[in-house]
Chain A
């Protein structure tokens, strides 16, 4: 499906430019996008280096294991296919905790570590496993208690009550996460039934 979305965006962009007779916009946009992509990765370097260092200390100290033991019921419900003492669990749960507390920066490195561990359990390394899909669903809908970025932006624009949208955002993010988890389950069951 990613292939189709990708192609769809490019082709409709080229067609739109052709209709307006401004084909050079396509080239400029493509190069601008490429530059942005590299910039995002460069920005990720410092975040990944820092948080992966922190995570390694937490792992060596047995803190990740503690976290997964503490949240075992949640983990078992969401990831029935992953053994509850597997190292992936510690990373998954710290990824979820980081998202929940609005530490988006920290969530990505933890999520990537979790993916790496889940890949070790994956029988087919090119195809996503059900557990990977669940982790992705949780991260795209991202259950957040405090949407830090948008509150900061509201503050900058002189809002009288920058935090007043926390309640509505929690409701909305709760709904989207609920839908994500439910739909993920449904697809997983269907896949399993097909064999």
Chain B
């Protein structure tokens, strides 16, 4: 079943690429090439508009990580988390996942390298990696693009959902693959 699903996902973009212009031109008489160019024009200004938002956020994340501040808070959390027997090796991923997409991916890779992708830790890291998106990045990009300053409760919701994702990943990997 999984093979079928991943096949489907691989076929999806080529299928869309063929289907959308075909349908548009033959059933709706849309000048497809012009329509594509018209929409594509918006891509460049949108990306450029995001630069200040992403630079601002990534500077802070980079300082937080590179100076060892992140590690300090992780060490602080360790005693509490060892109480619920959460594996220390993947703990940084839980904290990294919502703030830095590339950081989380690099960390998952290091887990694969040291423990192997089919180890318990490898499976846990992979499940955590696949369970949510980078909350801070999504927030920065989505709200930045339309100039939202006050994000209301969105941050709290995103971060709580991340925590739920980590706990759910830990629970299910324990249940399926055994601890």
| Interface size of A as a range | 35 or more
**A161 CA / B24 CA spacing, docked (Å):** 40
Q: Which of A12, A116, A157 contacts B72 (CB 8 A)?
A: A12
Query: Would A52 and B42 be within 8 Å (CB), given that A13-B67, A45-B47 are in contact?
Result: yes
> Does B82 interact with chain A (Cβ within 8 Å)?
no
B172–A109 touching, CB < 8 Å: no
Q: In the complex the two chains form, what is the Cα distance from A113 to B65 in whole Å?
A: 32
- Interface residue A70 (Cβ < 8 Å from any Cβ of B): no
B113 to chain A, nearest CB (A): 7
- A146 CB within 8 Å of chain B: yes
B127–A127 CB distance below 8 A = no
Residues of A within 8 A of B165 (CB): 141, 172-173, 175-176, 179
Chain B binding surface SS class: helix
Contact with A169, one of B57, B130, B152 (Cβ below 8 angstroms): B130
B59 contacts A34, C-beta separation under 8 Å: yes
- Chain A residues near B98: list those with CB within 8 A: 140
A183 contacts B by Cβ under 8 Å: yes
Are A139 and B55 in contact (CB-based, < 8 A)? no
Least distance between A31 CB and chain B CB atoms (Å): 8
B residues in contact with A103, CB < 8 Å:
9, 12-13
A31 to B80, alpha carbons, bound, how many Å?
34
Question: Chain B CB within 10 Å — which of A53, A145, A177 has the most?
Answer: A53
Task: Please tell me if the beta carbons of B58 and A136 are within 8 angstroms of each other in the complex.
Answer: no
Would you give the shortest CB distance from A139 to chain B, in whole angstroms? 5
- Bound CA–CA A62/B66 (angstroms): 49
Q: Are A53 and B142 in contact (CB under 8 A)?
A: no
Which B residues lie within 8 Å of A112 (CB)? 46, 141-142, 145-146
Instruction: Give the complex CA separation of A53 and B30 in angstroms.
Output: 13
- Measured between alpha carbons, how far is A56 from B102 in the docked complex, in Å? 30
In whole angstroms, how far apart are the Cα atoms of A180 and B134 in the complex? 14
Contacting residues, chain A, for B3 (C-beta < 8 A): 163
The answer, among B37, B118, B127, for a CB contact under 8 Å with A159, is B118
A179–B161 CB distance below 8 A: yes
Return the chain B residue nearest A161 by Cβ. Answer: B118
Cα–Cα distance between A7 and B36 once the two chains are bound (Å): 41
A46–B155 Cα gap in the complex (Å)? 28
Contacting residues of chain B (112-134) with chain A, CB-CB under 8 angstroms: 112-113, 116-118, 122-123, 126-134
* B interface, CB within 8 angstroms of A: 2-3, 5-6, 8-9, 12-13, 16-17, 20-21, 23-24, 27-28, 30, 32, 35-44, 46-48, 50-51, 54-69, 72-73, 98-99, 102, 105, 108-109, 112-113, 116-118, 122-123, 126-136, 138-139, 141-143, 145-158, 160-162, 164-165, 167-169, 172-173, 176-177
